[in-house]
Amino acid sequence: MTIWNSRAADPGEPPGRRIVRLACGSLLGACLAFLAALALLLLVPQARAVTIADDAYDFAVTSGSFTPQPVGLHGLTPPASGGKQWTYGAGRWSVNWSPVDLPDVATGNWLTSPVINPALQLGGTTGALVPIDAIRISLAHKFNFPFPGGAYPSAAGQIAYSINGGPFVGVPLAAYGTGTLASGPSPFGASPLGPYVGQQALVAPAYVPPSGAYSSLFPLLNGGASFVGSTPGYSDTGGTWVPSVATLFIAPTTVTSFQVRLINANLGQNCPADAGWDLRYLQVDFAAPEPEGYVLAAAGISGAALVRLVANRRRRRGQYR
């Protein structure tokens, strides 16, 4: 038995008309799929392949309007004299201090960047807010942080960051690059530090606070890695500037506010007079999500829509025969 309805082919329909009808139906389906893909792309015009150096600070030229701040426990902070707090001069930010004369009292210094707004740069003249999915922090610096052994060092330096005004978070060890300046994780490629450093090998932190009694080593932040030891030939006036690069991969987020903080920590033990940290150059790069993912998604939706349209047509044709 053959069942006919308005959607089934008319047996009396001329073959030429039927071919035209089927062709028009397929063309309509393809057009609809194309329009759906175009609509999806228009919904995400800001997802462009953009990598920018939003803020770069050459401290040989300017202080960069960074904000120094001493911090401590029980009201004790490093003294303001003798360079024992972050100080700008001689083309660098530097701190060189010994602890207060009490045992087991952690003190330190913060050096915080101005607020960086990558969305304004990425949005161009339109001011569109663009999602960020990768951030790179590059430093040219040198340091001497004594680590005589044991559960914690005498002094340490840590890099932290804040996104959209949130709390500062210590950069984890896994974010730091190894190898040389020429090697860098996608999407950034080689580091910009070449002109500012005296060696090409990237220097990564070597200390992560252990769990248990020392899991909250003030002013170090939990989960963040810290620089310890000494860079080549370090002294107050000499030594080699070395590169350190950290890359953070995040879920696509509209970043309207970003800050970097350098945390110089003394954990209550005596430091030699020459202990300290010096910063020559700092750069922050941001990357927007690559558009290929959106294009492929749109193409996939278009293809799926077309396949489904054809399958439905064939199913209906078979259903009525």
> What is the pLDDT at residue 102?
67
Give the span between the Cα atoms of 18 and 274, in whole angstroms.
Answer: 91
- Which tokens belong to 76? 């004790």
Give the span between the Cα atoms of 172 and 205, in whole angstroms.
Answer: 9
- Cβ-based burial of 294 (10 A; exposed 0-12, middle 13-18, buried ≥19): middle
E-state strands within 30-116: 51-58, 67-72, 87-89, 92-95, 107-112
> What is the pLDDT at residue 31?
46
What separation in angstroms does the CA of 37 have from each of 27, 98, 302, 308?
15, 63, 6, 15
| pTM recorded for the entire structure | 0.75
Q: Please answer whether residues 284 and 136 qualify as being in contact, where contact means their C-beta atoms are separated by less than 8 angstroms.
A: yes
**Parts of the chain with a pLDDT under 50:** 1-9, 20, 22-24, 28, 31-32, 35, 37-49, 125, 292-311, 313-321
Q: How many CB atoms lie within 10 A of CB 10?
A: 11
> What is the pLDDT at residue 148?
80
- Which tokens belong to 102? 């009490």
> What is the pLDDT at residue 73?
81
What is the gyration radius of the CA atoms in the chain, in angstroms? 30
> What is the pLDDT at residue 285?
92
> What is the pLDDT at residue 217?
85
> What is the pLDDT at residue 11?
55
| Domains of the chain, residue spans | 15-43+294-319, 51-290
| 3.30.9.10, 3.40.390.10, 2.60.120.260, 1.10.443.10: CATH of 51-290 | 2.60.120.260
